[in-house]
């Protein structure tokens, strides 16, 4: 049966949760009076977080409270370790390192595996050299105490795997694939988890799983304080997706349902239900657009073990699925099943050791050519968690596949990347992931390959001008006496030397070296620096050269605008644009110094990359990268109080502009508070056209600059 809670147990959870949040409301009131270290306040927060975890599995809620406890007393090693642990178990896992390092600096022997968790958090943040350093420290500790048997021991095999993944990650990060990864938009994605996209062949229908509140089948929540999984659907008309809506019963019930695959014709939907250990069900689309009661696939596919994913070839005759049934090579393996002459599923075979490893494989997707298989694996050459791989069928009768190829960075990350689907023409892919421009947790993205090579210009030939033909004057022909021809000796023509073909000069990447320094001290700062195309979002490969110095390799031959993002705890983040000419056959190096300002009272910064629809206060999709960085800064600096101010140009009435600017500032404030930022830390003000920073006489250099959102530090 699907996972469910008894009414009595659910009531108990809700009562305890009510008590917890009532107490939390009270202590938050007291907390607003305290900005310095407060051991008593810290313990109170920590106790409340532990109370939540004792009553529920709502780790997201407990994490934010535990972080407050850690920040109120940075010497409270228990609160700080638990804050790091909860952070690394939920979202934005790289932020955990801040709390683990606090513990490490005070007591490096607090836990046997402390160095491992510091390394793991650096690993998630793509800081591979730092991760390798701390993995190695833990490995040395484990080597010295091989017989240690505590619960806080991480096996050497896992440590070695993590170090290998970091080395792979450095390689992938330095040479990213030219993919544009674009958020599919707010008509489909929400602030909650949205994942597992599947599409029909013409990409006019998308079905996915979500844990959003709006439109959910069941009004109650699970014991993690989140709505249950539901399957949603959206249709495309032209280039626009409709607002996603619940696919409805009987596919969805009051508990968890998740979709797995959609047949190419869009008529069969495969879903997962937590029954019989976890089984695959099939639902058929009715003539009126509704869906039939899901029924389990035949027993030869489902077993008493977990079958977690499925994909079917375009002809409907071959099915691939993942299962952790006995007889495989790891925890979960990928299997193939074909139809016999009667049209029934038969002959289940493991895909073998070329694809399956001693770790988990999951999420197979067979492309429309019936030969290219995408799947996720914790093994092979990955950079952490599940990575997406591609393999090609060589011989179906012999079950032979090519060596799996990692899809590379930025598609893959140190976190879990899974459930990848391809378009019919193989030019687009869809998947869900957590990215900096996401609207919440997992969002659905579309991936397209980008050709960054400049196409040669076709020379237009000038038409050949014809000279006028001159008439020859004919002369009378004189008869010459006949001469006897004397044969001349044949002269050998000199041998022609072979033409030397000059080798074509290779395109040399531009070295773009970014140095980050403190604006006051001018000292180098160890900051998180990323670079990508401003429009196509293609990531630029990078290597950390030294503290505060990151070298990027720009390989694109196109002249385009790039966005450089810089973040460091305790400083105001920056998103900077730079127009750079394309790479050529000549060596070129560009040096860029970026000064970062500390978060001090009175500092003002413009949020230049927050975009609104015309005359509205609704965010465009491209705003979320900037918004998420603002949210991260607020979360990492719990004492920070800001004023969010909206500004307009002078087009329109002063009254309308004032109202519009206030609504836009309110929208930013609402975003922050929806992410758990205390509302009392964010003040929203609309100044309208009162505070221009440029002349309103010109659009490009004036009015456009005046239409902005700013934040001002009021306290820290």
Peptide bond into 191 cis (omega under 30): no
**Distance of alpha carbon 649 from alpha carbon 656, whole angstroms:** 11
Q: Could you please state the CATH topology (level 3) that the domain comprising 7-174 is classified under.
A: 1.25.40
What band does 650 get if pLDDT is binned at 50, 70 and 90? confident
What band does 695 get if pLDDT is binned at 50, 70 and 90? confident
pLDDT tens sequence across 569-609: 999 999 999 999 999 999 999 999 999 999 999 999 999 88
What band does 5 get if pLDDT is binned at 50, 70 and 90? very low
What band does 486 get if pLDDT is binned at 50, 70 and 90? low
Taking residues 613-628, what's their average pLDDT? 85
**What are 634's two structure tokens?**
């607020």
Q: Which residue has the higher pLDDT, 309 or 696?
A: 309
In b/e form, how buried is each residue of 322-331, taking b as 16+ CB within 10 angstroms? Answer: bbbbeebbbe
Task: Supply the pLDDT for residue 483.
Answer: 53
pLDDT tens sequence across 540-563: 999 999 999 999 999 999 999 999
Taking residues 446-461, what's their average pLDDT? 67
pLDDT tens sequence across 317-336: 999 999 999 999 989 999 99
Task: Supply the pLDDT for residue 710.
Answer: 94
Of the candidates 253, 277, 257, the one whose C-alpha atom is nearest the C-alpha of residue 269 is 257
∠ CA 372-375-381, nearest 5°, is 105
Task: Supply the pLDDT for residue 230.
Answer: 96
**Distance of alpha carbon 529 from alpha carbon 648, whole angstroms:** 31
In sequence order, the 6+-apart residues with CB closer than 8 A to the CB of 321 are 280, 301, 307, 309, 310, 311, 334, 335, 337, 364
Task: Supply the pLDDT for residue 35.
Answer: 47
**Distance of alpha carbon 84 from alpha carbon 90, whole angstroms:** 10
**Distance of alpha carbon 534 from alpha carbon 537, whole angstroms:** 6
∠ CA 181-182-184, nearest 5°, is 135
What band does 699 get if pLDDT is binned at 50, 70 and 90? low
Number of alpha carbons in the 13 Å side-chain half-sphere of residue 448: 8
Task: Supply the pLDDT for residue 12.
Answer: 43
**Strand arrangement, sheet containing 345-350:** 307-312, 318-323, 333-339, 345-350
pLDDT tens sequence across 148-193: 999 999 999 999 999 999 999 999 999 999 999 999 999 999 989 9
Class of domain 599-716 as given by CATH: alpha beta
- Write down the pTM of the prediction: 0.86
| 494 pLDDT higher than 60 | yes
Task: Supply the pLDDT for residue 492.
Answer: 65
Residue-range domain boundaries for the chain: 7-174, 179-445, 505-598, 599-716
Task: Supply the pLDDT for residue 18.
Answer: 44
pLDDT tens sequence across 378-436: 999 999 999 999 999 999 889 999 999 999 999 999 999 999 999 999 999 999 998 88
Task: Supply the pLDDT for residue 69.
Answer: 95
Q: Decide yes or no: CATH 2.60.40.10 for domain 505-598.
A: yes
| 478 pLDDT higher than 80 | no
What band does 705 get if pLDDT is binned at 50, 70 and 90? confident
Q: Is residue 98 a contact partner of residue 636, using CB atoms and an 8 Å limit?
A: yes
Taking residues 23-41, what's their average pLDDT? 59
Task: Supply the pLDDT for residue 700.
Answer: 57
Taking residues 78-93, what's their average pLDDT? 96
Task: Supply the pLDDT for residue 586.
Answer: 95
What band does 477 get if pLDDT is binned at 50, 70 and 90? very low
Helix axes 654-674, 624-636, angle to 10 degrees: 60
Q: Which residue has the higher pLDDT, 60 or 10?
A: 60
Task: Supply the pLDDT for residue 459.
Answer: 41
Task: Supply the pLDDT for residue 652.
Answer: 86
What is the 3-state secondary structure of 116-159? HHHHHHHHHCCCHHHHHHHHHHHHHHHHHCCCCCCCCCCCHHHH
Taking residues 700-706, what's their average pLDDT? 70
Taking residues 10-35, what's their average pLDDT? 45
- DSSP assignment letter at 702: I
Mean pLDDT of the chain: 88
**Distance of alpha carbon 108 from alpha carbon 94, whole angstroms:** 20
* Pairing outcome for strands 418-422 and 405-406: unpaired
**Distance of alpha carbon 280 from alpha carbon 282, whole angstroms:** 7
Residue with tokens 């002349």: 695
Total length of the chain: 716
Q: Which residue has the higher pLDDT, 479 or 634?
A: 634
Task: Assign domain 179-445 to its CATH architecture.
Answer: 6 Propeller (2.120)
- Lowest-pLDDT choice from 217-221, 286-290, 377-381, 456-460: 456-460
| 696 pLDDT higher than 80 | no
Roughly how many angstroms between the first and final C-alpha of the chain, as a whole number?
51
Task: Supply the pLDDT for residue 633.
Answer: 93
Taking residues 241-257, what's their average pLDDT? 95
């Amino acid at each position: 049966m699907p996972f469910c809670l008894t009414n009595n147990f659910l009531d108990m959870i809700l009562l305890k949760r009510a008590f917890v949040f009532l107490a939390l409301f009270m202590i938050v009131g007291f907390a607003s009076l305290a900005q310095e270290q407060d051991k008593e306040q810290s313990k109170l927060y920590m106790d409340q977080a532990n109370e939540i975890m004792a009553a529920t599995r709502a780790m997201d809620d407990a994490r934010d409270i535990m972080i407050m406890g850690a920040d109120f007393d940075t010497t409270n090693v228990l609160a700080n370790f638990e804050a790091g642990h909860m952070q690394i178990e939920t979202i934005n896992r790289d932020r955990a390192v801040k709390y683990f390092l606090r513990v490490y600096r005070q007591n490096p022997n607090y836990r046997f595996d402390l160095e491992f968790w510091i390394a793991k958090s650096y690993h998630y943040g793509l800081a591979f050299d730092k991760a390798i350093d701390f993995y190695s420290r833990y490995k040395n500790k484990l080597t010295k105490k091989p017989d240690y048997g505590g619960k806080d021991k991480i096996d050497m095999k896992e440590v070695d795997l993590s170090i290998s993944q970091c080395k792979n990650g450095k390689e992938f990060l330095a040479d990213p694939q030219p993919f544009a990864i674009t958020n599919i938009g707010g008509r489909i994605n929400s602030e909650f988890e949205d994942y597992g996209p599947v599409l029909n062949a013409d990409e006019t229908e998308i079905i996915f799983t979500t844990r959003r509140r709006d439109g959910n089948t069941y009004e109650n929540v699970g014991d993690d304080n989140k709505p249950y999984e539901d399957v949603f659907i959206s249709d495309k008309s032209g280039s626009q997706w409709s607002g996603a809506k619940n696919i409805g019963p009987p596919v969805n019930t009051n508990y968890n349902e998740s979709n797995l695959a959609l047949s190419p014709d869009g008529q069969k939907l495969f879903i997962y239900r937590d029954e019989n250990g976890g089984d695959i069900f099939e639902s058929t689309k009715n003539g009126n657009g509704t869906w039939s009661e899901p029924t389990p696939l035949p027993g030869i596919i489902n077993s008493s073990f977990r079958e977690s994913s499925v994909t079917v070839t375009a002809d409907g005759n071959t099915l691939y699925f993942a299962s952790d049934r006995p007889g495989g090579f790891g925890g979960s393996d990928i299997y193939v099943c074909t139809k016999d002459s009667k049209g029934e599923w038969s002959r289940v075979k493991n895909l073998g050791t070329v694809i399956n490893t001693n770790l988990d494989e999951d999420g197979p997707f067979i492309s429309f050519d019936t030969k290219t298989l995408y799947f996720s694996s914790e093994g092979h050459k990955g950079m952490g968690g599940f990575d997406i791989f591609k393999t090609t069928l060589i011989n179906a009768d012999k079950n032979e596949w090519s060596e799996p190829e990692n899809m590379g960075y930025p598609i893959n990350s140190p976190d879990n990347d899974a459930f990848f689907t391809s378009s019919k023409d193989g030019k687009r892919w869809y998947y869900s992931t957590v990215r900096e421009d996401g609207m919440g947790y997992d969002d659905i993205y579309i991936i397209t390959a980008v050709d960054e090579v400049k196409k040669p210009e076709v020379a237009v030939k000038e038409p050949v001008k014809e000279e006028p033909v001159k008439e020859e004057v004919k002369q009378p022909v004189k008869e010459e006496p006949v001469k006897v021809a004397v044969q001349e000796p044949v002269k050998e023509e000199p041998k022609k030397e072979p033409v030397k073909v000059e080798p074509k000069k290779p395109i040399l990447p531009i070295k773009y070296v970014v140095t980050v320094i403190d604006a006051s001290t001018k000292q180098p700062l160890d900051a998180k620096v990323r670079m990508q195309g401003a429009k196509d979002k293609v990531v630029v490969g990078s290597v950390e050269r030294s503290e505060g110095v990151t070298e990027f390799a720009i390989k694109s031959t196109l002249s385009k605008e790039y966005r450089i993002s810089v973040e460091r705890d305790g400083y105001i983040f920056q998103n900077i644009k730079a127009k750079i000419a394309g790479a050529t056959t000549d060596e070129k190096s560009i040096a860029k110094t970026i000064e970062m300002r500390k978060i001090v009272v009175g500092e003002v910064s413009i949020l230049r990359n927050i975009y609104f629809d015309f005359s509205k206060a609704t965010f465009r999709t491209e705003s979320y990268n900037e918004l998420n960085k603002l949210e991260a800064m607020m979360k990492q600096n719990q004492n920070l109080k800001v004023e969010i101010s909206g500004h307009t140009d002078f087009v329109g009435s002063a009254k309308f502009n004032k109202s519009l600017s206030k609504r836009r500032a309110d929208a930013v404030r609402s975003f922050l508070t929806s992410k758990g930022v205390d509302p009392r830390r964010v003040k929203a003000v609309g100044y309208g056209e009162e505070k221009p920073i440029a002349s309103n006489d010109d659009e490009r250099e004036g009015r456009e600059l005046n239409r902005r959102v700013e934040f001002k530090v009021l306290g820290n």
